[in-house]
Structure 1
Amino acid sequence: TSSNGDEHADLTELTFGYQPSTHQIAYMTADVKGWWLEDLAPFGITRINDIEFPTGAPEMQAMLSGHIDVAYVGAAPVISALDKGLDAKIVAAVQTQGSNLVLRPEITYEGPEDLKGLKLATFPPGTIQDTLLKDWLIKNGIDTDNDVEILGMGPGDAITAISAKKVDGVFLPHPAPAIIESEGNGRSVIASGEMMPDHACCVLVVSGNLIREEPELVSQILQTHIKATDYNTAHIDEASKIFAEMTGWDIEVVNKSLAEWDGAWICDPNPIIGSTVNYTQVQHELGYIDNPLTEEEIFDTSFYEAVKQ
């Protein structure tokens, strides 16, 4: 990619990865406002490319292959990729919580026991949603191999599947739960923050190459992310509009999603370190990774600490 040049002069383009979720509006706002290009131009950046991914699994495959330099992505797929040799670090948080388990309207639900025998769709193995859902089910005595059928798919396919009654429920990030509810095809029965309070969700990941070779550029990427996050928090209606226009979703549904989700946009990586390291234990127990990872293997908080001083 753009970041493989050995000299500063070679680096004129950056490629970002992101997903069409309200979790990641910070990326979209900075893009629509022209902040990425404007703020990174002093470092020689003349072009910003981006690639939209349905979930974090293919996004991290792309980063492993060197196709993206910076990723807005769930913390869990980063862990799976680091285990496979990804040279990158989480430099900031993007948001916490913000996913819901949505069941078909006709299905009775009083607790996890009621999920036995059901077919559920969520993001593919190794993603936040897959990791959280399976961990929560196991902790509640539900055998994820035998008691329930869990299918991995992207948000569009999962929304279609529950609408067509091909699955009984979905565990998805916003705005998908609000979309399904507004179409009368399901109801939220539990939010992800009830499964694991204040859990890490999306994070900002930067390639090791950029961290080593272009630390000042990385610092500016982080500052622009903070600026966009603060702007969205102060202008939620505009953030909602930006998201609706970029994704094509109805503005009323996006407003409903942001009013009802249990998510929060944040930048400070420190509050999410514990739950992210915990994901490595969960993924190890699920057989996704060979060994749990340490905080040092996952995070580089030095950029955030420096910016915040």
Structure 2
Amino acid sequence: MSRLVTLITLLLCGLSNVANAAKDSLEIGYMPIIPISQAFIVLENDTLEDAGVSDPELFQFQNGPAIVQALLAGQLDVAYLGIGAAMVARAKGADIKVVASNIVEQISMVALGNLSPYFENGDAKTAFARFKADQGRKAVISTFPRGSVPETVLQYWLQKQLGMSSDDISQNIDIIYQGAAQVQQALMTEAVDGAAILEPVVSIISDKKSDAKVVASGSGMFPHQPGAVMVVREALINEQPELVKALVKAHIAATAELRNNPEEAVKAVGKYVGGGRLPAKITLTALKNSHDQFEANPNAIIDGTRTMHDFQASQGTLKVKVDLEALFDVRFYNDLVKE
């Protein structure tokens, strides 16, 4: 498994004395995407050092299924990934718990110049069929791998919102499955006609291609869709509850910063998203576009997760029923918001 291991020095900002209880090393998995921006803020303040973790190992992944494989292999104490991947990991035996949400309604459908006019003019429900009739080919749409949140939201939108049958989809659309960097490259080179994708790719493509349009997003694709979440090992919860509490506390504070003062978050987020090469203005645009979606409360996504669980089961992308009561551990969040 390819992995980027980055050892960082974490400075601080005042969470209480948990150092004696905490482990000095922590494996953290993440994707370099806006929906897990809380993670980057936490990694750039002294939360972990204050909790006694002086030497964290960071593992970067391009998609959720790769993080699932790492979790199943016994790697990663903490991971930031989509709720779909979290359900798959739990169903396959990973001892993980969702302790915080990152974001909701995070997916957008971006259409490039050949495809976008069919959504701007005429019924969206027939856009793909009209595109094929005019262009003489199917529309090519990119998204993350099967079972991921973007792919699930794409399928939900096509089937539930646009009313397309499985035959309609197969006859009019070619769906290809890629990692975040590959989706962006496919859009930039116009190897695809559109993508169901998340930030910062949406903002990057909108900035670079004037004919790119967001033709559906958020609740228009999948109302109350859960998105990225923070999961931790049950073993970490049992052995180091104060460390987990410190992480959730910092996560809540980071969410507030993202919603209330995104300008202050740009530097930390920009270090990890886009390989640190993304212009600050694009990072800020992506954060502002996500303002209303950043959500730390895990209680807020339980019903949406149930809807997604049932839909994925009907699609065959979730082959084992997941005990959602066992997947979530909301105690840390609930206790902290009472303090």
Whether the TM-score (by the shorter chain) exceeds 0.5 is: yes
Matched, 1:101 2:104: no
Separation (CA, whole Å) in 1 of partners of 2:100 and 2:267: 25
Question: Contact 2:77 / 2:233 at 8 angstroms: preserved in 1?
Answer: yes
Residue identity opposite 2:193 in structure 1: D
Give, in whole Å, the separation in 1 of the partners of 2:205 and 2:194. 10
Residue of 236, 239, 262 corresponding to 2:265: 239
Q: 1:160 to 1:295 in 2, by over 3 A?
A: same
Aligned to 1:131: 152
AA paired with 1:160? Answer: Q
1:195/1:10 CA distance change after superposition, 3 Å: closer
Superposition misfits of 4+ residues, deviation over 6 angstroms: none
Residue 196 of structure 2 aligns with which residue? 171
Q: For residues 176-225 of structure 1, what are the alpha-carbon distances to aligned partners after superposition, in whole Å with 9 as ceiling and x for unaligned?
A: 01101111162211113211223210111011211222222222221121
Tell me the amino acid that sits aligned with residue 37 of structure 1: E
Matched residue type, 2:158: L
TM-score, length-scaled by structure 2: 0.82
- Alignment equivalent of 1:113, drawn from 107, 111, 126: 126
* Deviations 1:106-125, CA, capped at 9 Å, x for gaps: 32232142134311000111
User: 3-state DSSP class of the match of 2:172?
Assistant: coil
Q: C-alpha separation between the residues in 1 aligned to 2:32 and 2:292?
A: 15
Following TM superposition, by how much is the alpha carbon of 1:72 offset from its aligned partner in structure 2, in angstroms?
1.2
Distance 2:176 2:256 in 1: 36
SS in 2 for 1:17: strand
Deviations 1:135-172 (A, max 9, x none): 22122232244432111101211111122221111111
- Structure number with bigger Rg: 2
CA contact (8 A) 2:22 2:242 kept: no
Paired residue type of 2:49: L
Residues 92 and 301, structure 1, Cα contact 8 Å, conserved in 2: yes
Residue 56 of structure 1: aligned partner: 64
Give the count of matched residue pairs: 298
**Equivalent in the alignment of 2:294:** 265
Counterpart of 1:133, as a letter, is L
Structure 1 residue 235 displacement after superposition: 2.1
Q: Residue in 2 aligned with 1:180?
A: 205
Correspondence 1:253 to 2:282: yes
Structure 2: how far apart are the matches of 1:273 and 1:186? 33
Give the unaligned 5+ runs of structure 2.
1-19, 130-137
Structure 1: distance between partners of 2:238 and 2:287: 37
Q: Which residue of 1 aligns with 2:33?
A: 21
Kindly state the Cα deviation for residue 78 of structure 1 after the two structures are TM-superposed: 0.6
Aligned partner of 1:198 among 214, 224, 235: 224
- Of 243-252 and 277-286, the range deviating more from structure 2: 243-252
Local SS of the residue matching 1:238: helix
Give the counterpart of 2:309 among 265, 280, 288.
280
In the alignment, the residues of structure 2 paired with residue 260 and residue 207 of structure 1 have an alpha-carbon distance, to the nearest angstrom, of 31
**How far apart, CA to CA, are the structure 2 residues paired with 1:261 and 1:122?**
19
Q: Which one-letter code corresponds to 1:308 in the other structure?
A: V
Aligned pairs for 1:294-305 (under 5 A) are 294-305=323-334
Bigger Cα displacement from structure 2, 111-120 vs 68-77: 111-120
RMSD value over aligned CA atoms? 2.0
**How far off is 1:240 after superposition?**
2.2
Distance change in 2, residues 1:146/1:209 (3 Å): farther
**Aligned mates of 2:79, 2:163 — CA distance in 1:** 35
Q: C-alpha displacement at 1:9, in angstroms?
A: 8.2
Q: For residues 160 and 292 of structure 1, what CA distance do their matches in structure 2 show?
A: 35
8 Å CA contact 1:36, 1:224 repeated in 2: no
- Identify if the C-alpha distance between structure 1 residues 245 and 118 changes in structure 2 by more than 3 Å, giving closer, same or farther: same
Structure 1 residue aligned with 2:335: 306
Partner residue of 2:14? Answer: none
**C-alpha displacement of 1:55:** 1.8
SS at match of 2:332: helix
Structure 1: gaps (5+ residues) = 1-7
